[in-house]
A = this chain, B = another copy of it.
Amino acid sequence: MNNSFPQHAALESLDVKDGCLQIGGMSLTRLVQRVGITPFYAYDRKKISERVALLRRYMPPEIQLYYAMKANPMPAVVQHLAKLVDGMDVASMGEMKVALDTPITSHRISFSGPGKRLEELRSAVASDVVINVESASEMERVVQCGEELGMLPRVSIRVNPDFELQSSGMKMGGGAKPFGIDAEQVPSLLQRISTLGLNFVGLHVFSGSQNLNTSAICEAQEKTIRLATKIAHQAGVAIPWLNIGGGLGVPYFPGQHPLDLAAVGERLHGLVYDIKQIFPNIEIAMELGRYIVAEAGIYVCRVVERKTSRGQIFLVTDGGMHHHLAASGNLGQVIRKNFPVLIGNKIHQNADDVVTIVGPLCTPLDILAEQIPVTRASIGDLVVVLQSGAYGLTASPVAFLNHPEPIEVLV
């Protein structure tokens, strides 16, 4: 293919035939007819499977893979992943229902979140899932729910570590945080836990996400395992299970490169070996959302207007920030950068038309790509935003300006 975005790492792996993007074994133009409407999100089931297989190849065989549903909660995606991963992490009662509808056993569903409502805790106890307890007072509420239901709630303790995942897109731990219980308070809590009528299953440590720096990830994993060991020793209790979080990033923006997964895996083999010397029976889980699904998804919209204003070309599409907030630069980015974007039905031609691609909303925030070179596109052509399988539709203000809701398909 004519690689018009040398600076966007992800385009290398595109499947293109006769100038048309292929997804799920069919051409994009055929998929558009199958879906029947634009805009839509399409997730490639084979790519999701391949990504899990890649993780299995490089990660130590003892590692359990958990899928963090928040990245992409489409029920078909979740059902597909339920056959591939070892567990699921959910972040609300709504997500928990989706997970419980899969064949995954409730003991392999963990429920995280700094502000679980009482009815959520009650539902989680009744569901017999693992509750990642995030404060001492939440632990008391879980005990109370267990007593009401006559059940022994399964809990893990979410630890707010005393370190951060360096160079991370989002820091979830270290310093003062609403997430989890400060590491230094955990040992005394663990000593009380056995007296409380709780089934303690382990610890959950999540230090950050969207990281492309191999050594930062390895360092955080090492610190996580060291922290768990220290907590276990200080509390004098066994840690049956340790969720070391995820943090593996994907390249979105020019200049970013894919993570060296082999290097992460190699280092983790050593870490798992070490901790198994101390706690032979410990189970270790990694929890990944974005890394599993982001690169398997695309967002597709159609050009409805091509216009020139004072020398600049604009493609206006039927999709935009209301469907894909992250691509518009409004989901946590400080400086807006372009996701990889192309004209999905015209990849063979010269990509030398520098355009700004916007959505149909009456706001200057509604940008899909700014001043990027693409194949010359006309009304009816298909704009594709790559790397769109995670934090896409559900992370977007779909009702903004009351346009039709986009469709999601798993192909």
Q: Which residues of A contact B (CB under 8 A)?
A: 70, 73, 91-95, 98, 112-118, 134-135, 137-138, 160, 170-172, 175-179, 182, 304-307, 309-312, 314, 316-318, 320, 325, 330-332, 334, 356, 358-365, 379, 393-404
Contact = CB atoms under 8 A, between A and B. Distances in A.
6 contacts: A94-B401, A170-B364, A178-B356, A330-B331, A397-B398, A398-B399
A246 to B, nearest CB: 12
Contact of A304 (B117, B306, B359): B117
Contact of A402 (B92, B172, B362, B363): B92
Nearest to A175: B310
A74 B330 CA distance: 24
A92 B401 contact: yes
A302 to B, nearest CB: 9
A358 B176 contact: no
Per CB-CB distance, the 4 closest pairs between chain A and chain B, nearest first, are A94-B402, A115-B360, A115-B316, A176-B312
Contacts of A176: 309-312, 314
Contact of A360 (B92, B175, B316, B318): B92
Contacts of A397: 325, 394-398
B113 A361 contact: yes
B305 A115 contact: yes
B316 A182 contact: no
Contacts of A138: 305
Given A91-B361, A94-B403, A115-B317, 15 more contacts: A91-B402, A92-B360, A93-B403, A114-B305, A114-B360, A115-B304, A115-B305, A115-B320, A117-B318, A137-B306, A137-B379, A176-B310, A178-B356, A394-B400, A396-B397
Contact of A307 (B137, B305, B307): B137
Contacts of A401: 70, 91-92, 94-95, 113, 394
**Stoichiometry, copies per complex:** 2
Nearest to A328: B332
A225 to B, nearest CB: 22
Contacts of A316: 114-115, 178
A164 to B, nearest CB: 11
Given A394-B402, A397-B396, A362 B309 contact: no
A318 B362 CA distance: 31
A403 B304 contact: no
Contacts of A334: 334
Nearest to A180: B309
B360 A113 contact: yes
B178 A314 contact: yes
A179 B361 CA distance: 10
A379 B182 CA distance: 20
Contacts of A356: 178
A289 B371 CA distance: 30
A93 to B, nearest CB: 8
B331 A116 contact: no
B395 A400 contact: yes
Contacts of A116: 304, 360
Contacts of A312: 176
A205 to B, nearest CB: 14
Given A138-B305, A307-B137, A316-B114, A98 B402 contact: yes
A358 B115 contact: yes
Nearest to A176: B312
